[in-house]
Every structure is written in C-alpha cells, then in structure tokens.
Amino acid sequence: MGAVKKILERWVVFRGGLAVFGTLARMKAYGLAGAMSKSSAKLNLSLNKPEVATSVDELGKTWVSLMPPDAQHKFKFTGSDEKTAFTEIHIKCPLRGSGDPHACYHLMNYDRTLMEKVGGQLIVLETQANSGKDHCKLAIRKAGEDISDLVPAHENN
C-alpha cells in the first residue's frame, strides 16, 4: 500500500486529475466533475487519514499537508486571524485566464471535500480564472462558522 500511496500522491498524478477535472468543469459537466473530484478527495483522505483540526491554524496547515508532498511548496498557508486561515495556490491552474470562476467553484470541490472532513469550510476568494494573477487566494473557517462576510470568487463578477 505504501508504494501505491506514493504514486497517487505524486504531483504528476495530481496535475493529471486537475487537468481532467478542469476540462470537465469548463465543459459545464459539473455533476461529473464534482463526483470525480469528490471521489479523488475521498481517496486522498483514506490514504492520509487526517484528524479533525481544532483551530484555524490547524485547518490551514492540514490543507497544505493534504496536497502532493513533492509540490507542497506551491500550496501556502499565509496566516490567520481569529476566525479564518488564509491559503494560496501557486500552481498554473488549467482555468487560468478562462474568465470562468464558476468552473473554478466546481473544480475546487476537491478542496472543499478535504476541508469538510477535517472540520472546515473552504471559500475561494480570488481565482486564476478571472483575477489576472498567477495564484488563487482561499479562506478556511471552522465548519458552522458564519462565512457571510467572505465573498466567493464565483459570486464576485
């Protein structure tokens, strides 16, 4: 199982899945993209068995730890305040410059599934799809916390 885990956690495998899920989301095949990304996230969770986080800092750090080990430097926990962990994704997203933040919302179902399992909720604040930036900005709060002050990228256009 250890060898299989190492293969499945490799950056190249992650990128392949990202490309497929991104293509499906761009084609508006949201149901299929969502189901596949959720299944992929569940596989990640079964391989890594993360514990429920007890603080916002732990939520941010756990999110990073669930990313491919050979590319974790591209997934950054940038800090937190009393309610929110802030993270960034510094990979070239297949949706970069597409102008389609709704596809991003569906693609990020993977990350939301990961965070739900560890007691969090994830909101994309800025997406490469339409921000013109080379990274995405995310907010993570504990499950059940009010998120009405956070404007998701797919609702801000």
CA dihedral for 121, 106, 110, 152, sign (positive or negative): negative
Residue spans of the domains in the chain: they are 2-155
Q: Are 121 and 115 in contact (CB under 8 A)?
A: yes
pLDDT of 99-148, one tens digit each? 999 999 999 999 999 999 999 999 999 999 999 999 999 999 999 999 99
User: Alpha-carbon distance 64 to 24, whole Å?
Assistant: 25
**Angle in degrees, 0-180, between the axes of helices 109-117 and 56-65, rounded to the nearest 10:** 120
CATH for 2-155? 3.30.1380
Query: Per-residue pLDDT for 149 more than 80?
Result: yes
pLDDT in tens, 29-85: 888 988 888 988 998 998 899 999 999 999 999 999 999 988 899 999 999 999 999
The pTM for the full model equals 0.91
* Amino acid of residue 52: V
pLDDT for 98: 94
User: Which residues make beta-bridge pairs with 138?
Assistant: 87, 124
